[in-house]
A and B are shown apart, each in its own frame.
Chain A
């Protein structure tokens, strides 16, 4: 318990330090930035480039569009957008998780499948997301399942899962092949079949490898969802909000920073949800966990 309090305290201190560093940079460094010859080595620190932290926080309470009939605050818009994106990212994480686990099982079961599939699994991550996003949206637009027509958010979820499946597939494969030969032989001597060995040996043994993989996948799912929202032009999420606010950033960057702050908090919340899910798996995490 003490350890957990310390972890939380460390996180808070780190956040305070980050804020202090930001403000210190504004205070100490010249507003025009630092240039060596023609090369700019430090950015401008005036209010148009780096707004004060409190300006960004205050912006959350301002109306989104000055003088509009609907007085929605920037904060409400950011929270709403972040929740929308969180839903899509978690959906992507689940989809990607299922795909990753199935691929890992296939590769563990059949050595040939590992040779055939693993290179493509790795290659899949070198394809730029921006290139796939319109493709997925385009294919999706042609799909209608039992009266349900493809929605733009579904494209976002699929693209998000495309990033999320990778760490899970790789981590799960490592985990499934983690048991020592002696353990596998023990199960063979007990006349246990593949399924029993999977359930009682490989899956429990895979947990220490799977847990960090799911954390990576959660972060990747959030990034994937935000980028997918932007590149497919899907409305309602934080990705779209960042773009919209960025377009008005020349005059007042604090609104864009507010949206970026929302995206960062979103990533933390996603990681937090995954950590909560891990609590039930503690006994599998190590000899004395």
Chain B
């Protein structure tokens, strides 16, 4: 069973000014534990694609299945966790209470919640900040809280929409290494939207390159996700290999070709 299965997915927006196609004919399978990035020019519908998987939008054509179920059922069953570009933390809640939110909503007992939150904060390296308010944290720390929240219910799938888009380059690279470690430790599949080619290459098993609107997958490029190393230095080493540069070039060419078509 695939973590995500998209078949002939198309999406049109708005009957107001006549239907505007955003996505057309998208087929994509994501295996359990696999890391797949979506990359493409602005407005190509990569975020829309992620939102279709999350059942925040409904496809006009085709089917979206998550963990072998229709997307809506998967959402109701909480088969995925999601993180957006903005951390979207509730400012009146502490870090621990923000991470706890999905567990609280689904009626997990208090003692169990506390234990799981401690575990998650340990995982994202914020154990000492459980009592802080989001406004007291840096952008990178807020994003880690959001990732911990997305992982709270041990979802088999993590959906991420440019989660590091608003971070500076240094923080971003450290977060990428963190994410690789978290993905490996949790065993979750990841669908990751980005517009950074190096980011896609260093994180992904596969990179789906989308054409300009209406978006469709023009090419799948193999990424250079480190097979073992997950700490910052090892990820850093990947960035300096020839294979990394080759993959970056391959993605860039695929983007250019997609735009030219």
Residues of A within 8 A of B (CB): 180, 182-183, 185-192, 196, 200-201, 204-205, 207, 283-284, 286-288
A151 and B3 alpha carbons, distance in the complex (Å): 68
A180, A189, A205: most-surrounded residue (chain B CB, <10 A): A189
Q: Contacting B105 at CB < 8 Å: which of A190, A205, A284, A286?
A: A190
A80 and B252 alpha carbons, distance in the complex (Å): 82
* In the complex, per-residue mask of B89-111: 1 if CB is within 8 Å of any chain A CB, else 0: 01110000000011011100000
Q: Can you report 28 residue pairs joining A to B where beta carbons are below 8 Å apart?
A: A180-B86, A182-B88, A183-B88, A185-B56, A185-B84, A186-B88, A187-B105, A188-B75, A189-B54, A189-B56, A189-B80, A189-B82, A190-B78, A190-B105, A191-B75, A191-B76, A191-B106, A196-B105, A200-B90, A200-B105, A207-B92, A283-B92, A284-B92, A286-B91, A287-B91, A287-B133, A287-B135, A288-B136
Least CB distance from B13 to A in Å reads: 16
Residue numbers in A under 8 Å from B90 (CB-CB): 183, 200-201, 204
Least CB distance from A80 to B in Å reads: 42
Residue numbers in A under 8 Å from B75 (CB-CB): 188-189, 191
The secondary structure that dominates the A interface is helix
Least CB distance from A280 to B in Å reads: 13
B55, B77, B105, B134: most-surrounded residue (chain A CB, <10 A): B105
Evaluate whether A182 and B102 lie within 8 angstroms (CB atoms) in the complex, with A204-B92, A284-B92, A286-B91 already known: no
Residue numbers in A under 8 Å from B104 (CB-CB): 200
B133 near A288: Cβ-Cβ < 8 Å: yes
Residue numbers in A under 8 Å from B86 (CB-CB): 180, 182
Least CB distance from A173 to B in Å reads: 20
Residue numbers in A under 8 Å from B77 (CB-CB): 191
The number of residues on chain B lying at the interface, defined by a beta carbon within 8 Å of a beta carbon of chain A, is 24
A287 near B134: Cβ-Cβ < 8 Å: yes
Determine the residue in chain B with the shortest Cβ distance to A281.
B92
Residue numbers in A under 8 Å from B91 (CB-CB): 286-287
Least CB distance from B166 to A in Å reads: 13
Residue numbers in B under 8 Å from A187 (CB-CB): 105
Residue numbers in A under 8 Å from B78 (CB-CB): 190-191
Determine the residue in chain A with the shortest Cβ distance to B84.
A182
Given A180-B86, A180-B88, A207-B92, 8 other A-B residues pairs in contact with their CB atoms under 8 A: A182-B84, A185-B56, A186-B82, A189-B80, A191-B77, A200-B105, A286-B91, A288-B135
A230 and B124 alpha carbons, distance in the complex (Å): 65
Determine the residue in chain B with the shortest Cβ distance to A186.
B88
Residue numbers in A under 8 Å from B54 (CB-CB): 189
A190 and B153 alpha carbons, distance in the complex (Å): 10
Determine the residue in chain B with the shortest Cβ distance to A185.
B56
Least CB distance from B163 to A in Å reads: 13
A190 near B102: Cβ-Cβ < 8 Å: yes
Least CB distance from A62 to B in Å reads: 52
A47 and B88 alpha carbons, distance in the complex (Å): 63
Least CB distance from A279 to B in Å reads: 15
Least CB distance from B69 to A in Å reads: 13
